[in-house]
Amino acid sequence: MGFFLKKHNIDNIFFIGIGGIGMSGLAELLISEGCKVKGTDTGESQIIERLKKMGAVVYNKHEAKNVESSKVVVYTDAIRPDNPELLRAKELGLEIYDRASFLGEVMKLFPNSVCVSGTHGKTTTTSMIASITTHTQMDPTILLGGELDEIGGNIRIGKGNIIISEACEYKANILKYNPTMAMILNIDEDHLDFYKNIDDIIATFKKYADDVPSTGYVVYNKDDEHVLEAIKDVTAKTISFGVDSDADYKAENITYDENGCANFDLIHNNKITEIKLSVLGKHNVYNALAAIAMANTYGASLEDIKKYILLYAGVHRRIETKGYIGSVRIIDDYAHHPTEIMATLEAVKKMAKGRIITIFQPHTFTRTQKLLQGFAEAFKRSDVTIITDIYAAREKDTKLVHSKDLINSMKEHGYDAMYISKFEDIENYLLDNLRENDIILTVGAGNIYKLGEDLLKIKDKQ
């Protein structure tokens, strides 16, 4: 890292949107290298407070003057083109990077760079890798899209020669990272505000895989037909994982304990290793296989992997138990795509002793509209489903889709759901209608997690 700072004459850097989960990790990495870091974020969070304690200057209002003493500006995709800080940086001729491009420059500094990509499971798989590799001699630097208690947040700064990061495909950002190992967990329709269709998405992943040097690796899901299309003709070494196919790392005899946690036999090089997980669901078997393949390729023994992957108990907002109201369990999950929702509900169903009451907050108008039919069928394992308002995120309300459209589509598919707009009204409904051993499951990538937290606060006061 020191070389990068010297090469670009960086002694101070400005992050527009510094409080984001990806931006804050990079900011912390730069602070650890002795760089003066400033940034702007209009929200408040523990992440921002942590950066301030480390020495970062954080403004709570976007103003042009904020960037004037900086030399390099990094901005998040969530920032609009007319952001005053971005415009001023261009006027001043400052060195400007989008977040993905800047991360790509950082990754070039490491002899080994691992990118964990795919439509689903990136944070969980990267976290599993963290749980394994931090107990080995690799001593990696790790950037997460979530917060993992085991590493004390969303970044681990190591002293080894390897960096491991999630790689999001939004806006084709996966093409900016320069990995020596590209991992592809799965490929599904998403981000259709940027991509034309699934073929466009596959083509982007194909270029991502093709760009890996011949001395590098492509780790891929052999059970996913879209992934198989993307990795055709790659020149890098390929390593496969799967359940249904004859993969290099294969799971057989999958079982679930009374808590819904998965166990399986790992088949690799004609040897069997019994793997036990501390997380729920078949989807986490795939995530575990990918993590195992990565760690084993870089030298971790299967015996060590078996021991350390069991330590992974989940990252925040991934089937996370928030607490209990009597016998009622409150779980929160980040799922915001039909495939993810179905996987989450399937996992929770295996440990449920009562009803599953799902409260879903759709994420972005474009995704809701483009994947409406998929969402309509995603809640079939939910006993009671409540849909609240769409979380706009980076978008404006085009009035082309509403949560009520999802309700209507669900009814057409034979599933029932109710629309409740206000969190307070949802909370009152739940408190009036809960039964013994119910599970309240909040689902979505917006702020729906606050609903469960509010319920626990209400009960604490009673």
- d(CA 54, CA 45) in angstroms, rounded, equals 15
- Indicate if 166 belongs to the active site: yes
Amino acid at 142: I
- d(CA 373, CA 410) in angstroms, rounded, equals 8
The candidate with the shortest Cα–Cα distance to 86, out of 99, 78, 77, 96, is 96
The candidate with the shortest Cα–Cα distance to 231, out of 177, 183, 168, 294, is 183
What angle in degrees, to the nearest 10, is found between the helix axes of 449-461 and 423-433? Answer: 60
CB atoms closer than 10 angstroms to residue 272: 12
Choose the catalytic residue: 85, 166, 169, 427: 166
- Indicate if 339 belongs to the active site: no
- d(CA 379, CA 381) in angstroms, rounded, equals 5
**Is 93 labelled a binding residue?**
no
**Is 413 labelled a binding residue?**
no
- Indicate if 364 belongs to the active site: no
Choose the catalytic residue: 38, 122, 176, 322: 122
Q: What does the DSSP 8-state code read for residue 271?
A: E
- d(CA 125, CA 171) in angstroms, rounded, equals 22
**Is 119 labelled a binding residue?**
yes
**Is 121 labelled a binding residue?**
yes
Amino acid at 68: E
228 alpha carbon, distance to own chain's centre: 22
CA distances to 45, 71, 96, 211, 429 from 16, rounded to whole Å, are 16, 13, 11, 29, 40
Q: What does the DSSP 8-state code read for residue 389?
A: P
**Is 118 labelled a binding residue?**
yes
* φ and ψ of 267, to 5 deg: -105, 115
**Is 122 labelled a binding residue?**
yes
Element holding 142 (H helix, E strand) = strand 141-148
- d(CA 361, CA 336) in angstroms, rounded, equals 8
- d(CA 229, CA 276) in angstroms, rounded, equals 31
Residue 55, judged by CB atoms within 10 A of its CB (0-12, 13-18, 19+), counts as exposed
- d(CA 222, CA 113) in angstroms, rounded, equals 22
**Is 442 labelled a binding residue?**
no
Measure the CA angle with vertex 350, ends 318 and 305; round to 5°. Answer: 55
Choose the catalytic residue: 123, 125, 141, 442: 123
The candidate with the shortest Cα–Cα distance to 299, out of 160, 159, 167, is 160
Binding annotation:
118-124
Active site residues: 122-123, 166
Binding annotation for ATP:
118-124
